[in-house]
Amino acid sequence: MVRRHLSEEIRLVVICPECCAYCGDSAVFCSNCGIQLIVGSSYPTEIVQRYGVIERTIEELSQENKTLRERLSQQSESMEQRLNRILGEVSSSTDRLKAEAQSRRLEAESRQSQRIQAVQDQLKRSLMDVHASVEQAKAEDMSFRSSIQREFSDKIRSHEEQLEKALRQVQELATQIRADQQARRNEASRMDELVDANRRLVQQVRRLSLRRRYCDRCGRPLVATPDPNVLACPVCGVC
């Protein structure tokens, strides 16, 4: 144990070689560790004074250490207060930023909803315009169809009239053709009759041409001439 103001209470001390504790000059064993001390190894007053100075220095140092600890504790408390204040400011700033972000998000959502509503309104107007255009197109289509139908009906009626006229003409032509065919058949039958008559005539002519002919003057037989249809008398020279 180190006693305070040891240099003022005793003049000679014995220092333990093991634990460096101060012991009285009459001590045989160390009061701190119990080791046997060397008798007669007392130190002079000068050394004791030096140790007293060291003790005072240590005491001053301990006092300064205590003061520094108090200052450090105060500074730590002030730092903690500053940290708490900074944390409070940070939390308030965070809350303010959150509120601003929330307001901005709400504002953006409101703007987006307004834009969506405007687009929906525009789409509704466009759909109404499209429906109106479709209805107008349907009406125009119906009118166009009715006009086309009327036009086609007129054309069909005119074509039917033309067809009826053409059918009458065809019937007339058929009647005329049948009459012409009948006439041709009659002509063909007449031609057949004429051909038969000519054939019979040719046969008679051939039969007559095979008979010997005589001259009417002299009575001699006629002879052929370069013309196969002419016969001449070799004596009279008359056909």
Confirm whether 31 is domain-assigned: yes
Under 8 Å CB-to-CB from 33, ≥6 apart: which residues?
16, 18, 19, 21
Q: Give yes or no for residue 215 having a pLDDT over 80.
A: no
Q: What is the number of other CB atoms lying within 10 angstroms of the CB of residue 13?
A: 21
Confirm whether 6 is domain-assigned: yes
The stretch 64-74 carries a mean pLDDT of 82
pLDDT band at 65 (very low <50, low <70, confident <90, very high): confident
Under 8 Å CB-to-CB from 31, ≥6 apart: which residues?
1, 21, 23
pLDDT band at 200 (very low <50, low <70, confident <90, very high): confident
Helix (H) / strand (E) element for 38: namely none
Q: Give yes or no for residue 10 having a pLDDT over 60.
A: no
Confirm whether 194 is domain-assigned: no
Q: Give yes or no for residue 205 having a pLDDT over 70.
A: no
Residue 48 pLDDT: 61
CB 231 within 8 A of CB 222: yes
Confirm whether 53 is domain-assigned: no
User: What percent of the chain is modeled with pLDDT above 90?
Assistant: 0
Residue 31 pLDDT: 81
135: amino acid identity, one letter: E
The structural domain count of the chain equals: 1
Task: Single out the residue of 39, 52, 36 nearest to residue 4, CA to CA.
Answer: 52
Map residue 222 onto helix, strand or coil: coil
Under 8 Å CB-to-CB from 239, ≥6 apart: which residues?
222, 225, 230, 231, 232, 233
Confirm whether 181 is domain-assigned: no
pLDDT band at 45 (very low <50, low <70, confident <90, very high): low
Residue 188 pLDDT: 86
Measured distance CA(8)–CA(3) in Å, rounded = 11
Provide the residue range defining the domain that includes 13. Answer: 1-43
Confirm whether 136 is domain-assigned: no
Confirm whether 97 is domain-assigned: no
Predicted confidence (pLDDT) per residue in 123-181, tens digit: 998 899 898 888 888 888 888 888 888 888 888 888 888 888 888 888 888 888 888 88
Confirm whether 112 is domain-assigned: no
